[in-house]
Structures are given as C-alpha cells and as structure tokens.
Amino acid sequence: MLKQFRFLLKNKEYSVLSIVSLLLATSVFFFISREVKWLSFAVIIKNTIFFYVLFAALALSILTSIAYFNRGKVDYKRKIAETLLVFLPTELMLILGLSQSNDFHYVFFMIAGLYILISGIFLIWIRKFSWVEKEKKPLFETVSSWTKIQGRFVFLIIGLVMLANLSFGSYRLAQFAAVDEPLWTFERIPQFWSNLLEGDFKKTAVSDKPGITVAIISGAGMIFESPKTYKKYYKNGEVDSNPYDIADLNFALRFPILLFTVLMLPLFYFLLERIFGKTAALYSYILIGLSPILIGMASIINPDSLLWVFAPLSILSFLAYSKIRKPAYLYLAGILLGLSLLTKYVANILLIFFLAYIFIEYIFHKKDYAYLTIRRFVKESVTDYLILLFITLATFYLLYPATWVKPSMLFDATIFSQAFETTWPLFAVFFLLLIIDMIFFRSLIFSKILDLFAKNKKIIAISLSIVFLFCLIFTVLNVYFGMKWYDFESMIGSPKTSYSTGGYDGLFFANFFPLAFTITPLTLVFLIFTNIWNIFSKRKDTRFESIVFSITLFILLYYTATTVNKVAAMNRYQIMIFPLAIILGGIGLSIAHSKFLQKCRFANLSYLVVFLIAVSSLYFSRPFYISYDSSLLPKKYYTDLKDMGTGSYEAAQFINSLPDSNQLKVWTDKRGVCSFLKAKCLSGFDYLKFREEGINYAIVSAGRESRTKKLVGTYIFSKKKGLIRFDKLYEKNDEDVIYKIEINDRPRNYIKIIRFDMAEYENKP
C-alpha cells in the first residue's frame, strides 16, 4: 500500500487527478448536505450558484488535466477508464445524496444515470470474449454473402408476406372500437407526450403496464390527428352530436403500430434462419406474418399489440447468440427485452428463461464447449447474462423518462414488478447459489448436476414433448367431449376469478384452449408433428432438439406462472406465446419438407401453397382477425370470451341506416359503439336517467353478457329503485332480434340489436 502511495505521489498526472477528484467529491458532499437531514452539520455554504460554478470549474480541470498529460498517441481505453475512476468518488457521493432526498433537481438524477450507462458500456467494450465465434467474417461481408445465399425467391416471399399483412391489417382498420382504447387515445398517449415536452418526466408513467412503446409508436399519429379534438365529444359512454369522424383518429393512431409490426417481420426470418436454416425460417415466417390473431392484435392500441413482436424476437436473438456466439445477437436480445419490459411487465418471465437457457445450452451442447472448463463456461455465461440485463435496463431507462427522475422504477420493472412478485425470491436464491458455487467450489456442484442432465438429455427432451402433447391433446379432447371435465369457456371468460371453480389444474389446462384453437389448423397439426418427431426421431441434430425443447419449456413455464398467479391466460394474455407455437409448426413443416420434398424439382411451390393457405385463413376471418377461431373448434364454442370490441362498427352502421337515426336513443353494453353512432348513445346503469331519456333500441354483445347480468343481479339484491332488467335482453330469441352479427360464424359470439320497450323490462316482483 505504501509503495503504491509513493508511486502515486511521483506520478504528476495521477497526483493532479487524485487531488482534483477529491476536491470535486468533497464539494459534492457539502452540496448534498443541504438537502440530507443527517448531514445538516456539514452545511457551510447555501448559495447554489457557487456550487454550480465550482462543479463546472473542477470538472473542466479534470478533463483539461487528462488532455494535457496525454498529448500525442493516446490509449483511449485506458484514458476512458481513468476518467471514469476520477469521477467515481463524485458519483458515489451523488448517489448517496439522491438516495436520501427527493428534493434534488432531476438533472442530478440524469447525471448519475448517465455515468452508470457510460461505465456499463465501457465494461462491455473491454470484455475479453472467450467464446469461439462460429462466423469469422466481418459484418459487411457476412451480410453480402448472406443475401446471396438466401436467393431472390426468399426475398420475394418476405415481400409478399409483408404486403399481405399490411393489406389485410389495413382493411377496415379504423372501423371498430376496441375496449380500453379510449384510455390510450384520450389519456395515456397524449399525457406521455405532453409531459415529456413540458419536462415533467415523472408523469410520463402513464400506465402500470407500462406501455411506453405504445405511447411512442402510436403517438406518431398525433402529427396528423389530435385526440383533444375528439375527446370533448366522447364522454363517459355518452356521445351526442359528434361532428368529427372517430375513424380518422382510429386510423392515425393504429396505423403506426400496424406498420411497425410489418417492418419488424423480416427480423423474424433473419433470426430464425440463423438458428434453423432457410427452410424452417421461411415456413415459420409465413405462418407468423399471416396469422389472423397476430394481425388482429397489431390492429389495436394496446401493449399486447407490440409484445408479440418484442418478446419472441428477444428469445430468438438469445438463441441465435447461443448458437453463433456473435456479441451483436446478445446486445440485440437485451435491447428487445428492454422494449418488451417497456411494453408490458409480464416480459419479466424472460429473465428466468434466459438464466435457465444457460444450462439448457450446456446440457444439449456439452461437446461444443470441450475447450472450456465448466467453471469457465458458467463464468462466461453469467457474464453474458449480466450484460444482457444491463442492456435491458439501459434500454428501459433511456426510453422511459420517468426513470430519469425516479431510478427505483427500474426495480419496479424487474424483480419488484407484479408479474415477478411470486417468483423473484426463488430466482434470487438460485442465482446466489450459482455464484457461490462458482466462486467457492469452482462450479463443482453445478458441474455434477449438469453432467447428469447431459447424459439423460434425450430422455428429458422426450419427456417434455410427451407432457406438452398430453396437455394439448387432453384439451382438444375435452372440447370435443363437450367440456366434460373442465369448462374452459367460463374460465377464460373470467380469467382473474376462475381459480375458485377450476382450481390449479383447470387453470393450467385452460391455457391450452386458446393455444389450440387460435392458431390455424395447419400450424396446430405441424406443431403436434414436431413434438411427435422429437419423441421418435433418431436424428443427431442436437440444436434442433434443444430449440424445440426450449420453446416448449418456455410455453409450459409461462402457463405454470399464470396458473401460480391464479390467472387463466385468455387470448390476449398469452399473445407472446403464439409466435413461438407457430415456430414449432414451421419446424414441423420444414421436417416434412426435408423428408418428402427436398429433392423435388418444384419444392419451392410448397412455400407458395402454405402462403395461399395462410392467406385464405385471413380472407375468411376478415375483418374480425382478433376474434379468429380455428375451423377445428366446434361451432358452438369460441375463444375470444373477453372480446376487444369486434362488431361494434357494424352494429352502429345498422342503427345509422334507420330513418331519423339522429333522433334515436340507443342503450349499449359496449361503449365503443357510441363513437360510431349518429343516435344518442347511452351506456351504464343510470336507470332514472334512462327512464327520463327513453330508449328506442338496445345493442348487446356476448362479451358483456356475464358482466351485465352480474351488475343487474347486484341491483336486484339491493332493491334499487327504477331498475331496468337489461339482463333479459340476452335471453331474446332470434325472432325478436332485428339485427345480429355472428363473429366469424360463431352463433354464441354475437352482437344483437333489439327494439326496446321500457314496459317489457320493468323489474316486476
């Protein structure tokens, strides 16, 4: 220690920098003491301007000193490290103050965050990469050769899928009213941009999802249409004499999301091709790009419209990195995971999956890492994981202004989030044991466990496929036997309260109900085929085996997490699962292709056949893509039990076609209908007002039947005066209905218009 101190004194550069660093940290100490109560004894100078001038002078002195002592050839890595070390005491002192008081200006929070970001990026930059990279060519040569290998036909299919997706997605894009959208269009999106532009960063936390990507992307539409113009005519479910066409606002804010998802589609192909090769990638890409449920989801202003893009792409990027070991894929996985968390906190489950995949990679590909000891493998993998975590949080921080002034929200986004609430202690304990084993036991314990799993990897992979197939086939059989064992519809219809009737087992199996019947029949058949092939095949392609295992494991892990949290994963709640299930179907198609068509002269026609089959599913389900049900599902059932507003426009147009429609009074259980009606629209349960206003017609939907009956039942029990029995509207026979829409030809998924006679719906004892 003494020798190091003497060396420091003899070196002029280090001496000067140390003195100035100490002076800067000391000045920051006196500055923060003015706001931190237990440091009040150190308050000497209260003048804020004095401190600002002092900070600027000392910071400038540090930078000037570094420049002065490093004339000529400069070792940039070393100088950046020196600069960061010089400012480190100041950073620690600043963090101390910020953690003890919220009275500091947000600029100081941003300075502290910027230092951490720069330090993290620097540490990633100087990391010695120990993996053996599978591709040695520079990036520009790789891209050039990659495009030649793909060929014109591949790019033709990529273009056709994008064009078809955009065309079908744009069809009547503005002509429906989605549930919860007014919260985004009139409140959250304008609030985000308004607070951002005004510098009120704390209030950019507009939702608990948090939905920041929705606010950013959809908010681009405000350049063309202002929500404020429409908001004053859209109030509490009642719209009267609206001079503006809400469709214009709908299109302006929905189209940016749809366009963004279309532009992201080629990234699915690129990453899949890196993992599986051209055949599986192209089949999977076609099925993902032309999936009705995914196009339908991309047509609404909601976090789920983007989650199905970011989360699966993050998984694919990490899988590609594990195979190729190019750092760019790891960084991409982190960015996409950050975007996933900015979209919806449920993406936290990826943190668990990525940690688990470290061991899956070793178990299935142990031979590929023979040049590393198990301790080295774990160390490098944990380092990768920490880099992924840093990039994730950095992305989250940079794009979420509220974190600039309240950094603790980074923890709210991860281990303290509601989605991670029940599992983070187990996650933390496992990670801690992993580190302890690596440091103190040289990974001996985990080495023994992983070697045992590696010896039995085939059994493990087969067992998981059997479990998955059993759950899927049992679900299908339960449906075909008339929901004999579990009533999936009732559980999906009440996803957050169905545990009391279904139990854990019922909730778990109910998750497979949307999975089986909202992907196309072709996809489901080949998804099953993939797992059957994985069970009986003797092929030695461990990469195929590990990827199928990993995707299947993630689906089961997700369903287990929702079950533990006592939630049934309805269509929208498991939207990130559908692309992964579709990829399993694409793998099955590629297996069949290589088995039966590989040597065929016209093998490429099979891609066009799959393209046409997928397009036909879109054509026959238009415009209700978000309520798509497979033709394999019996007609008496449907999966979209909590619909997002399908059919509202069509019902409104029928009312608008009636004589003197602007003089009519219409009650509806769907407020979204109101925005398209010329008539005066009423909703809710203000019975006295409705009796005074009068009602000519009622519009009711299957998706609101349960809610309306529960609320009316509550009012009956409380003996509310003037009660109107809206619950009886759902019991009307078709001969009493003047207009009915059956969504995607499902009789029980309906919207009805009924003439309303007040006397008929009196609450008679």
**Do both 677 and 586 map to the same domain?**
no
**Do both 39 and 114 map to the same domain?**
yes
**Do both 729 and 598 map to the same domain?**
no
**pTM (global) more than 0.85:** yes
Under 8 Å between Cβ of 522 and 585: yes
The per-residue pLDDT for 184 is 93
Strands 697-701 and 737-742: unpaired
> Six-digit token pair at 5?
């101190």
Residue 207 lies in a domain: no
Give residues with Cβ within 8 angstroms of 662, minimum separation 6.
241, 678, 679
Residue 204 lies in a domain: no
**Do both 619 and 673 map to the same domain?**
no
What gap in Å lies between CA 421 and CA 668, rounded to an integer? 38
Burial of 764 (0-12, 13-18, 19+ CB in 10 A): exposed
**Do both 609 and 707 map to the same domain?**
no
C-alpha dist (Å) from residue 553 to 334, 352, 638, 675: 21, 12, 27, 43
Range of the domain at 604: 255-627
Helices (H), 298-345: 304-324, 327-343
- Residue whose pair of structure tokens reads 């304990």 in the numeric block: 429
Burial of 40 (0-12, 13-18, 19+ CB in 10 A): exposed
Residue 676 lies in a domain: yes
Indicate the residue among 93, 125, 157 that finishes a domain: 125
What gap in Å lies between CA 665 and CA 667, rounded to an integer? 7
Centre a 10 Å sphere on the Cβ of residue 601 and count the other Cβ atoms it contains: 7
One-letter-per-residue 3-state SS of 367-426: HHHCCCCHHHHHHHHHHHHHHHHHHHHHHHHHHCCHHHHCCCHHHHCCCCCHHHCCCHHH
Which amino acid, one-letter code, is at 509?
F
> Which residues of the chain are modeled with pLDDT < 70?
1-11, 70-74, 134-141, 233-243, 415, 418-423, 539-541, 764-765
Total domains present in the chain: 3
Centre a 10 Å sphere on the Cβ of residue 411 and count the other Cβ atoms it contains: 12
Q: How does DSSP assign 9-71, residue by residue?
A: HH-HHHHHHHHHHHHHHHHHHHHHTTT-GGGGGG-----HHHHHHHHHHHHHHHHHHHHHTT-
What gap in Å lies between CA 190 and CA 200, rounded to an integer? 13
> Six-digit token pair at 449?
């466990």
What gap in Å lies between CA 221 and CA 212, rounded to an integer? 15
**Dihedral angle sign, alpha carbons of residues 580, 584, 589, 595:** positive
**Do both 751 and 668 map to the same domain?**
yes
The per-residue pLDDT for 692 is 85
**Do both 331 and 471 map to the same domain?**
yes
Residue 398 lies in a domain: yes
539-574 b/e with 16+ CB inside 10 Å = b? eeebbbbbbbbbbbbbbbebbebbbebbbbbbbbbb
| 266 membership: H or E segment, kind and range | helix 246-276
The per-residue pLDDT for 413 is 72
**Do both 424 and 280 map to the same domain?**
yes
**Do both 474 and 528 map to the same domain?**
yes
Of 590, 616, 613, 614, whose CA–CA distance to 603 is shortest?
Answer: 590
**Do both 736 and 617 map to the same domain?**
no
> Six-digit token pair at 159?
């273009």
**Dihedral angle sign, alpha carbons of residues 29, 32, 33, 39:** negative
Give residues with Cβ within 8 angstroms of 143, minimum separation 6.
none
Kindly state the DSSP code that residue 112 receives in the 8-state scheme. H
Under 8 Å between Cβ of 662 and 554: no
Indicate the residue among 60, 94, 125 that finishes a domain: 125
The per-residue pLDDT for 65 is 81
**Do both 295 and 430 map to the same domain?**
yes
**Dihedral angle sign, alpha carbons of residues 617, 623, 626, 630:** negative
Residue 209 lies in a domain: no
CA 81 and chain centroid, separation: 36
End-to-end Cα, the chain, rounded Å: 93
Indicate the residue among 89, 105, 125 that finishes a domain: 125
The per-residue pLDDT for 678 is 86
> Six-digit token pair at 111?
């300075």
The per-residue pLDDT for 613 is 96
Residue 310 lies in a domain: yes
Residue 375 lies in a domain: yes
Residue 475 lies in a domain: yes
Burial of 409 (0-12, 13-18, 19+ CB in 10 A): buried
**Do both 560 and 656 map to the same domain?**
no
Give residues with Cβ within 8 angstroms of 212, minimum separation 6.
192, 204, 342, 343, 399, 400
CA 157 and chain centroid, separation: 27
The per-residue pLDDT for 193 is 95
Centre a 10 Å sphere on the Cβ of residue 489 and count the other Cβ atoms it contains: 18
Helix, coil or strand: residue 679: coil
Of 101, 313, 301, whose CA–CA distance to 192 is shortest?
Answer: 301
Give residues with Cβ within 8 angstroms of 623, minimum separation 6.
171, 172, 175, 176
